[in-house]
Amino acid sequence: MKLRKVLDETRLILIGIPVFLWTMIPVYHLFVLSISPRESVTSGRIWPDHPTLQNFGTVFRQEHFYLVHFWVQLGNSLVIALTVGVLTLVIATCAAFAISRLRVKGGRTVMNLALFTYFIPAAFLAVPMYKAMSSYGLLNNQWALILAMVTIASPYCIWVLKQASDKLPWELDEAARMDGATPLQLMRLVYLPLMVPSLVAVGTYALLLAWNEYLYAYLLLSRDESMTLAVALGHFLSSDDSPWELLMATGFIYALPPAAIYYVFKRYMVSGITAGAVKS
């Protein structure tokens, strides 16, 4: 048994090391290019001869014409991502509670219809979404992107929360009702405290989805002052002589917040998303 355990762990290590390297090599090159001087950024070296942090200083001080609105665009990304995360969390929580715990009539049908929307790729909905936002006068308004991302994220989040909610013992609901709890009190005092891991998971998922979105942000926000940094990064490639070192430095900075959020909440992400996957 001990030998078999060693062999199993060795097999996992042999699989894990290539996967880890395959994942980290692009991140490593991103960092290497971000600390490379402009004259050696395309040299192909594994490590620059004269690494420098000047590129990050240029980004922070907005000293390049592609970076004039860096802090504004970073703030736009943050505001949009946080708003999408909060709105999606509120909508998904209320919907999952009503479907799973209150057993509202037609709730499961609504949930299945919402999930059915995922049969249509999000890219195919981009043009209809653009036309809808144009009809309501929301183009170049951050609410256009917020509403679009909430629409995309909500069905999956409702499904995850509903599956997790189904695992909660019904005896808790019955005990709360016998004590005179209203549906809102039941949700606030029983449902929400027990659903924290799943709530953090779906909130983080929606936040990261909005933070990394490019296509909808590109279509719905075109003014430099309103667009997100993800779209602004594409402007670096609009010239023949792109400042690759500044592009990589900006991209590295943009990648830090979601990485930090994920590692802070990764324990909840794993337990929350897999909640309800196995019936007990």
Higher-confidence residue of 277 and 245: namely 245
Q: Give yes or no for a contact between 194 and 153, defined as CB atoms under 8 angstroms apart.
A: no
Given a contact cutoff of 8 angstroms between Cβ atoms, the answer to whether 227 and 221 are in contact is: yes
Q: How many Å is the Cα radius of gyration of the chain?
A: 23
pLDDT of residue 274: 52
Q: What single-letter DSSP state applies at residue 235?
A: G
| 276 pLDDT tier (thresholds 50, 70, 90) | very low
Instruction: For the chain, give the mean pLDDT.
Output: 86
Digit-coded pLDDT (tens) for 188-216: 888 888 888 889 889 999 999 999 999 99
Of the candidates 142, 134, 149, the one whose C-alpha atom is nearest the C-alpha of residue 223 is 142
- For residue 14, pLDDT beyond 90: no
Residue 255 tokens, joined = 């990648």
User: Does residue 279 surpass a pLDDT of 80?
Assistant: no
pLDDT of residue 10: 84
pLDDT above 80 for 136:
yes
From CA 222, how far away is CA 70, in angstroms rounded? 15
In a 10 Å sphere around its CB, with 0-12 CB exposed, 13-18 middle and 19+ buried, how is residue 178 labelled? exposed
Tens digit of each residue's pLDDT (9 = 90 or more) over 66-119: 899 999 999 999 999 999 999 999 999 999 988 888 877 777 787 777 778 778
**206 vs 218: CA distance, rounded Å:** 18
Element (H, E) at 149: helix 142-166
Phi, psi of 133 (to 5 degrees): -65, -35
Q: How confident is the model at residue 4 (pLDDT cuts 50, 70, 90)?
A: confident
The pTM of this model reads: 0.86
* 233/208 Cα distance (integer angstroms): 17
What the block records as the tokens of 104 is: 């509202």
Question: pLDDT per residue over 238-274, tens digit each?
Answer: 777 778 899 999 999 999 988 888 888 777 665 555 5
* Chain CA centroid to CA 228, Å: 14
Share of the chain above pLDDT 90, in %: 36
| Rounded Cα gap, residues 37 and 45, in angstroms | 12
- Average of pLDDT values for 117-123? 82
**DSSP string covering 201-228:** HHHHHHHHHHHH--HHHHHH--STTTS-
Res 161 pLDDT > 80 = yes
Alpha-carbon dihedral sign for residues 37, 40, 44, 50? negative
Q: What confidence score (pLDDT) does residue 270 get?
A: 59
